[in-house]
């Protein structure tokens, strides 16, 4: 069965997919979302809308998804298990589907201690694996978790995330296999900087046949500055930033650092494009949305397919 998702259509057509993301603002102004969206328009197949990322309170991912949908995007609404119990989760799935949001990305969510409300109570009633199962069950069996009937099934393309650079490494491919078995149809990975390690992970993924069960989009993030690269290396859990990248950024004059960052990013894209089983990329240009078009064009991924 097909959903109305453009991302699904592109992936099923066999084209190499490109997605990116848009973090909603810390306020109620829709123009902020529209402005970020304008940078991306025409260059991507679907746009992720983050859900209170890094546990900082923001405009909801559902509202952001709707604003972008109205601009003609195919939104991928992100949903974390940190802030909602199973009642709210199912309610938001139905709400999103009713408004024409066709993709959902199922996440555990960063711990609240990272954000601006470290004193918040977390929920984690169910985890990301069980969230995937929940969407699938509502969609394919028309059942709530309780077993009651869903009248009007949410027709949603189901996504998840996985971190090939998280530990323990040896179960990271197995964990993706679990997510595929739970019902995930696509995955967007954590930012790939260490391509050698990513290749190893993909090999394990292929050994388990997971690349034939779901579409794999490699996460891509351009380095904007040396400070940002260092921050990701040292302070973001589960990120693998090779020293050689930081050295490369350091080796160029200050005004050329951003350019070098984009060059590294393009090299990474070129390599992941050639890895068997990689079906697309997910560009996370953190507070640098204006660079996405340039990256997509320079990577030879423009124009995007019209399906």
Partner 1 sequence: MIVANRKPFEEIIEMLKPYSKILLLGCNECVTVCATGGAKEVSVLASEIRLFRQKEGQPVEIKELTLERNCDTEYVESLKPAINDYEVAISMACGCGIQFVGEHYRDKLVLPAVDTTFYGVAEEQGVWTERCQGCGACVLDKTLGICPVTRCAKSIFNGPCGGSQGGKCEVNKETPCAWQLIVDRYKEMNMLEKYLEIQPMKNWSTSRDGGPRKRVREDLKL
86 binds partner 1 (CB under 8 A): yes
Site string for partner 1, 21-40 (x = CB under 8 A): --------------------
| Dihedral sign, Cα of residue 209, residue 210, residue 214, residue 215 | negative
176 binds partner 1 (CB under 8 A): no
Cβ–Cβ under 8 Å, residues 10 and 108: no
Helix/strand/coil for 261: helix
Site string for partner 1, 201-220 (x = CB under 8 A): --------------------
14 binds partner 1 (CB under 8 A): no
Cβ–Cβ under 8 Å, residues 47 and 20: yes
d(CA 157, CA 185) in angstroms, rounded, equals 7
Minimum distance, C-beta of residue 203 to partner 1, in the bound complex (Å): 18
From candidates 72, 152, 238, 300, binder to partner 1 by CB under 8 A: 238
Binding footprint of partner 1, residue count (CB under 8 A) = 36
Cα–Cα distances (Å) from 270 to 55, 103, 163, 198, 281, in that order, read 32, 26, 20, 13, 11
From candidates 54, 70, 108, 155, binder to partner 1 by CB under 8 A: 108
d(CA 284, CA 290) in angstroms, rounded, equals 11
* Interface with partner 1 (CB under 8 A): 81-82, 86, 108-111, 113-114, 122, 124-130, 133, 145, 161-163, 166-168, 170-171, 174-175, 177-178, 181-182, 190, 237-238
């Amino acid at each position: 069965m097909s959903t109305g998702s453009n991302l699904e259509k592109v992936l099923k057509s066999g084209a190499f997919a490109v997605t990116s993301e848009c973090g909603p603002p810390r306020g109620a102004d829709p123009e902020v979302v529209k402005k970020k969206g304008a940078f991306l328009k025409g260059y991507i197949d679907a746009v992720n809308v983050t859900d209170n990322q890094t546990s900082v309170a923001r405009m909801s991912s559902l509202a952001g998804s709707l604003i972008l949908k109205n601009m003609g995007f195919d939104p991928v609404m992100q949903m974390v298990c940190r802030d909602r119990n199973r009642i709210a989760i199912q309610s938001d799935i139905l709400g999103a589907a009713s408004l024409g949001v066709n993709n959902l990305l199922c996440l555990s969510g960063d711990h609240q201690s990272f954000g601006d409300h470290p004193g918040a109570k977390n929920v984690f009633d169910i985890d990301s694996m069980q969230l995937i199962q929940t969407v699938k069950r509502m969609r394919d069996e028309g059942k709530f978790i309780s077993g009651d009937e869903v009248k009007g099934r949410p027709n949603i393309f189901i996504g998840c995330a996985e971190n090939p650079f998280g530990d323990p490494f040896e179960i990271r491919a197995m964990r993706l296999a679990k997510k595929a078995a739970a019902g995930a149809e696509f995955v967007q990975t954590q930012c790939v900087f260490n391509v050698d390690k990513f290749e190893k992970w993909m090999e394990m993924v292929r050994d388990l046949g997971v690349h034939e069960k779901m579409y794999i989009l490699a996460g891509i993030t351009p380095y904007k500055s040396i400070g940002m690269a260092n921050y990701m290396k040292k302070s973001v859990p589960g990120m693998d930033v090779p020293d050689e990248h930081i050295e490369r950024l350091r080796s160029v004059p200050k005004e050329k650092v951003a350019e070098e960052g984009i060059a590294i990013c393009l090299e990474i894209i070129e390599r992941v494009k050639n890895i068997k089983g990689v079906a697309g990329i997910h560009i996370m240009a953190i507070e640098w949305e204006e660079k996405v078009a340039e990256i997509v064009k320079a990577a030879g991924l423009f124009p995007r397919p019209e399906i």
